[in-house]
Chain A
C-alpha cells in the first residue's frame, strides 16, 4: 500500500511541468541565484520548471502563506458542498525537489542592488527575480470599501478566510433576504469569475433559500461568455438571479458597509449579504519593485516576461499587462514555464525567442454543467496578440451532454494544473 502511494506521488511529480531530461551542459552548470516571489500557480510552476531546467542553480521561493489556497473552484465552495480542503496545497513537494521555500513576506526590493528584503530583516540577493505576486485590492478606489468594510462585506477574491466568511454569511441568510454582488470594470483577476460565482450563489439560493435572490450590479454592459451565462441563468435561475449592467444603473460607486447599502449614480440597493468584487491592481510587492506603471499593473516583454521598467526582474500571472491573454490560473501556469525557458536562456547568454501560448478557462453554471473560453496567442515582437480564427467559447444551445462533458473536463483540468504546481 505504501508503495502504491509513493508510486502515485512519483507519477504526479512526473506529470509536473518540466521533467529532468537531456540538458545542455551549458545549462547544467549555471549556478545563478534565482528568487521567485509568490507561490501561486505562477510562482510555484516557475520554481519547478527552473529546478529542472537549471539543476544546480540556487532557487528560492518566497511565499507568505505555508498553505496555498487556490482561487479556481473556490466558487464551488461558496455554492456547493465542495470542502475548503480541496482548495488547499502545501509546498512540501517543492521543498523536497531542492527549491528553498521561505514562508515569509517579501518587504522590499532594490532592483539596482538586486536584493530582496524579507519581513524578518534578512536579505536575499538575486541574478534574476521572478515576481508572481497576484493581485491586491485597490482599497479606496470604490468609496467606502476598505479592509474593515471587507470584514462585513467580503470580496472573497483571494481564496481563503474571505471565501469562508462569505459562505458563512450565505449560510446565515434568512430565506427571503437579498444577496448583492458588485462587479468592477476590467481588468481584474479571472474575467468570467464573477459570473461563475453568481451562478453558484444562485444555485445555493435556489436549493437552500428558495425565496431569496441574488442581484448582480455590474459596472460593465458586457462580460466574458455573456450569452452562455445568460442562457444558463434563464434556464436554471430565472427566480434567483438578476443581472444589471451599467446601462441599467448597475455601476456601483459607493459602499456603506455599516448599513449594508450600495449606491450607483441614481440608485441604492441594500442586501443582507453583499459580495463586493473590488477594483484591483498588481500585488503590492510589484509596486515596491518599481515594475508597475500608472495603471497599477506590470508592463512586460511578452517573450521574456522581463519588466520593461526594471532589468533582471520578470513578472508573470495576474499582475502583468498581458491582454488579450487573461488573468487566469492557466495563463499564470503557462507564462511561468515560458518565463522559465527565457530565464534559462538569458542566464546561458542566449536570446529568448517568440512562441505560441494558449489559455483555457472553464466556468460552472450549475454543479454539473460548465462552459469554456479558449484563446491562442502569439508573443512575437514582445507583445501579446490573439491568433485570428482561433479560440472562442462553447456553443450556445448545446446539449446537456456538452455541458456535462465540460464540467468533467474542468475538474480534470483543476487536478492537472494543481499537480503541475504542487503535487
Chain B
C-alpha cells in the first residue's frame, strides 16, 4: 500500500503566481481552501516531479498552466496506454495509478495561473 498523506495544505508546485518578484508570502491560492487538505498534500508530493521539466513557458516541453483537470487526466492516461510512444512521458505515466493521476491532475489544475 502506498498512501501519501501529508496532513497539510501544502503550497503548490511550480504553477502559482507569486505576483511579484522577490518571494515572501503572497495571496493565498484561490482554490485550495475548498479542497480536502489531505488530497492536496498527496497531489503536491506526486506533482513535484512534473516541475522538473514543465515550466511556465511552452517550448520543446509543454507548459501545464492552461490544462484543465479533465484534460490532464485524459493526456496522462493516453500516455499510459500508448504502448508505441517514444517520449519520456510514455515511460513515466505507466508508473502512476489512476488515483495518482487524478490527484496530480486535480493539484496541477487548481493552481493560480500567471495572468
Contact = CB atoms under 8 A, between A and B. Distances in A.
Contact of A360 (B2, B25, B52): B52
Contacts of B51: 15, 17, 337, 416, 420
Interface of B: 1-18, 20-26, 28-29, 32-33, 37, 41-42, 44-46, 48-49, 51-57, 59-61, 86-88, 91-96, 100, 111-112, 114
Nearest to A372: B88
- Contact count band on A: 35 or more
A243 B25 CA distance: 53
Given A10-B20, A51-B23, A391 B95 contact: yes
Interface in A361-419: 372, 374-378, 380, 387, 389-392, 394-395, 398, 402, 405-406, 408-409, 411-413, 415-417, 419
A224 B104 CA distance: 29
A53 B10 contact: yes
Contacts of B111: 19, 21
Contacts of A419: 55
Given A24-B9, A360-B92, A389-B94, A98 B24 contact: yes
Contacts of A358: 49, 52, 92, 95
Contacts of A345: 6-8
Given A22-B9, A341-B45, A409-B61, A10 B21 contact: yes
A413 B18 contact: no
Given A20-B16, A409-B61, A420-B51, A356 B100 contact: yes
Interface stretch (A102-110, A122-130, A346-354): A346-354
B54 A416 contact: yes
B29 A22 contact: yes
A19 B88 contact: no
| Best-buried of A356, A357, A378, A413 by chain B (most CB within 10 Å) | A356
A380 B1 contact: yes
Contact of A380 (B2, B33, B37, B44): B2
B45 A338 contact: yes
Nearest to B28: A22
Contacts of B29: 21-22
B105 to A, nearest CB: 14
| Best-buried of A17, A358, A380, A405 by chain B (most CB within 10 Å) | A358
B44 to A, nearest CB: 7
5 contacts: A334-B49, A338-B48, A391-B91, A412-B55, A420-B51
| Best-buried of A19, A337, A352 by chain B (most CB within 10 Å) | A19
A390 B94 CA distance: 5
B55 to A, nearest CB: 4
Contacts of A337: 13, 48, 51
Contacts of B8: 24, 26-27, 344-345, 348, 350
A60 to B, nearest CB: 16
A10 B18 contact: yes
A416 to B, nearest CB: 4
A163 interface: no
A416 B33 contact: no
A394 B37 contact: no
Contact of B18 (A6, A19, A98, A338): A19
Contacts of B13: 17-19, 337
Given A21-B26, A51-B23, A337-B13, 15 more contacts: A17-B14, A21-B12, A24-B8, A24-B37, A55-B25, A96-B21, A345-B7, A354-B3, A355-B45, A358-B49, A360-B52, A408-B60, A409-B88, A412-B61, A413-B61
A354 B92 contact: no
